[in-house]
Structure 1
Amino acid sequence: MLPLQIPSTVLALLSLLLLVAALSSEHWLEARRDGVFVHSGLWKICANSVCAMPLKLPDYIEATKTFLILGLLAGLLSAFSLLALLSGSGLDTVSPLVVSAVGSFSAGFCVLIALTVFTSEFAEVIKVTWPHISFGWSWGLGWASIPLFLLTGGVTLLAQESNSI
């Protein structure tokens, strides 16, 4: 077993966990207005613990969801290839470390695109109507997953390099 295999697997699973938590929660935006606490995510909008799923969402939210799901799929590919390598399953055609590194970098860049779109559109559209709105913890988890995905890719590439020596 390679010395960097376990840290890269832990990083892959941690970054995947952060992304899943960010994607599934409804605390991307939070606001208080006239005694009402409103928070929303990519799927639901909640006011005082009553949640609803809007029928039509703005295009930037749909784009954010799409890129986050692409990032999730790439992150899953990365984690599963590392787990397959740890379990001893041999893939002869392609190195699981290379697959994992490509998956991690792809996941990081997809999530970066998603959060950049969300953040820039939020600044343009939402701030005007809700002056006391702020980003929630889900948004922060999404941003935190980006450097973890990139770090996973880097550590996995180092593991691949030490494997080929």
Structure 2
Amino acid sequence: MKGLRIAACFSFVSLSLLMIALTSDYWIVASDGRAYGGLWQECEDALCVSYGVDVPGYIQVTRDFLLLGMVAGTVSFFGFCASFFQTHIGSFSTKRLAVWACFAAGVCSMIAMFAYTGVYNDQIVVYGTWFGWSFGIGWASFILFLITGGLAYKTVGSTA
């Protein structure tokens, strides 16, 4: 039970990091620090411009998979919390549901981060920008989801 409580805490932290990465605007930062951009808007000095309907494909893929990861992460977190009170919902084990949702959140986050990194990494030299802290938090969320899933899998496997 203690392992599941730790997994629930890690799941919450992973989900929080994923939300911060998804909503923040510091995915890329200009080398002079005056311009920065995220998945929803780009800013230069104090002027921010939201992306319209013409969003580059890699940004749309990143958004979509991070949103899917957030849904799976939410299912994972609430699954861990529900497992403290009820072990099964119908024929589904809440513990196993939470573990697999955690892995799904990690895979969705990984796809999103690789899509953004793969396309944008080639453009860094051209634009004179660097990856920002939001980008790093996105990668940290992916790693934490996988660690959480592994820890919970080991805990659920030992109690089953």
Q: Output the amino acid matched with 1:48.
A: D
Scaled by the length of structure 2, the TM-score of the pair is: 0.93
Alignment partner of 1:53 is 2:50: yes
Q: Output the amino acid matched with 1:75.
A: G
Equivalent residue number for residue 114 of structure 2: 116
Scaled by the length of structure 1, the TM-score of the pair is: 0.90
Tell me how large the CA RMSD over aligned residues is. Answer: 1.4
Report the count of equivalent residues: 158
The correspondence of residues 18-29 of structure 1 with structure 2, limited to 5 A, is 18-29=17-28
Q: Output the amino acid matched with 2:73.
A: G
Equivalent residue number for residue 80 of structure 2: 82
Note the C-alpha offset of 1:52: 1.4
14-23 or 147-156, which deviates more: 147-156
Contact kept? 1:97, 1:159, Cα under 8 Å:
no
Report the Cα distance in structure 2 between the residues aligned to 1:31 and 1:125, rounded to whole angstroms. Answer: 12
Q: Output the amino acid matched with 1:51.
A: C
154-163 or 17-26, which deviates more: 154-163
Contact kept? 1:105, 1:153, Cα under 8 Å:
yes
Task: List alignment gaps of at least 5 residues for structure 2.
Answer: none
Contact kept? 2:31, 2:130, Cα under 8 Å:
no
Report the Cα distance in structure 1 between the residues aligned to 2:72 and 2:142, rounded to whole angstroms. Answer: 12
Match of 1:145 among 130, 141, 147: 141
Equivalent residue number for residue 94 of structure 1: 92
Report the Cα distance in structure 1 between the residues aligned to 2:60 and 2:125, rounded to whole angstroms. Answer: 19
Equivalent residue number for residue 41 of structure 2: 44
Report the Cα distance in structure 2 between the residues aligned to 1:135 and 1:82, rounded to whole angstroms. Answer: 33
The alpha-carbon distance between structure 1 residues 126 and 32, as it changes in their structure 2 partners (threshold 3 A), is closer
